[in-house]
Amino acid sequence: MQTPDDGALVAAARSGSDHAFARIVDRYQSPVRGFLRRVSGNDADADEIAQDAFVDAWTHLRSLRDGTKLKSWLFAIAWRKAKARARSMSRSRTRETAWQALQPVSDEPQREMALAMQQALGQLPEEQRAAVALCLAGGWSHSDAASVLDLPLGTVKSHVSRGRTRLIAILGVDDA
Amino acid sequence: MREHDPLQDFFRAGDVPARDPGFRLAVMADVARRRFRRELAERLGQGLVVCLLVLIMAPVAGDVLETLFRGGESRFALLTLPLALGVALIGHFWLNGRLRVRLPNLR
C-alpha cells in the first residue's frame, strides 16, 4: 500500500478527514516531541506543548498554502509555543530542574545518556539549544532550521558550531 | 570526514518512540473538543441572528397573519402554516449544513 505524502494528507485533513490528521500526528509526533524535549528540558512540558502545537496546526490547517512544507510549518508552531511557554514558566521550570537534579541517576545506560544530554542542553542558551536540536539531533539543514527558528542563516550556523563544541566539553566525549 | 559523531549516541538515547497511540488519541480528543466548542459557538451565533430577525420581523409577520386569518379564511391559514414550517426547516438546514455535531471520524 502506498503511503500518502504530506500534501495529500494535508488536503484530506483540510476537507475534514480526521483519519488524515491522525496520520499527520503519527508521522510527526516523534520528531516534534523529540525537538521540544531537547528545547524545554522537561518531558512532560514538552509533550504538553507538542499536543497544543498539533491542535493549533489542526485549527490553522487552511493557512498552510503548500502542504509539502508541513514539517517546517509544524516545527515552527512548536518552536513558537515552546518560546512562549519558556517565558511564562521560567520560574517554575528552574525549581523543577533543581528538583530533577536531586533525583537518583537511573541504572539504565540509555536513560542516563539521555539525562546527561538533557542537562548539557540545559546549559545552552535557548536559541542555541533549538538550533542544536534541529541540526545535530534532527539532521535538519542549516537553512531549513533558520526558516523554522526565524533566525538568519549565519546565526544558526554559529549556534550549531558553538553549541556542539560546548556539548562535547560538558559531556566530556572525544570529538572524532 | 567525521566517521562517528559521539554526540549522536546521546541524542539517540533521548529519542521519542516512533509510534505512540496514546499521544495521537490525546491530540484527537483535543481536536474533537475544539471542534465541538467552535460548532457550538457558531450555532449560538446563528441562533442569535435568527432571534434578532424574528424580533425585527415580528410586527410585520403579526400584521400578515392577522390579515390571513381574518374573516375565517382558513384555506390561507392551512397553506401558510406548512409553508412557514418548510421555510423554517430549509433555513435550519441552510444554516447548519447538517443535522448533528460531527464526531471524530477515524475510519
pLDDT in tens, A155-170: 999 999 999 999 999 9
Query: What pLDDT band is residue B106 in, cutting at 50, 70 and 90?
Result: low
User: What's the pLDDT at B75?
Assistant: 65
To the nearest whole number, what is the mean pLDDT of chain B? Answer: 79
All three cell numbers of B6, joined, read 559521539
User: What's the pLDDT at A11?
Assistant: 93
User: What's the pLDDT at B1?
Assistant: 45
Helices B21-69 and B74-96: angle between axes, nearest 10 degrees: 160
The 10s digit of each residue's pLDDT in A4-32 is: 899 999 999 999 899 999 999 999 999 99
Number of structural domains (chain B) is: 1
- Output A108 or B45, whichever has higher pLDDT: B45
Assigned domain for B105 exists: no
Assigned domain for B56 exists: yes
The CATH number given to A1-103 is 1.10.1740.10
Pick B28's closest partner by Cβ from A22, A37, A118.
A22
To the nearest whole number, what is the mean pLDDT of chain A? Answer: 88
The 10s digit of each residue's pLDDT in A40-59 is: 988 999 999 999 999 999 99
Give the residue carrying C-alpha cell 527558528: A149
Domain that holds residue B31: 18-96
The CATH architecture assigned to A106-176 reads Orthogonal Bundle (1.10)
Assigned domain for B101 exists: no
| Rounded Cα–Cα distance for residues B16 and A162 (Å) | 25
Give the burial class of B10: count Cβ atoms within 10 A of its Cβ; 0-12 exposed, 13-18 middle, 19 or more buried: buried
Chain A nearest-CA residue for B20: A26
Assigned domain for B13 exists: no
Assigned domain for B83 exists: yes
Query: What pLDDT band is residue A111 in, cutting at 50, 70 and 90?
Result: confident
Query: What pLDDT band is residue B74 in, cutting at 50, 70 and 90?
Result: low
What percentage of chain A has pLDDT greater than the value 70? 88
List chain A domain ranges: 1-103, 106-176
Q: Is residue A33 less than 8 Å (CB to CB) from chain B?
A: yes
Chain B nearest-CA residue for A121: B11
Interface contact A33-B16, CB threshold 8 A: yes
Q: What is the mean pLDDT of residues A65-85?
A: 94
Q: Which residue in B16, B25, B51 sits closest to B104, CA to CA?
A: B25
Assigned domain for B4 exists: no
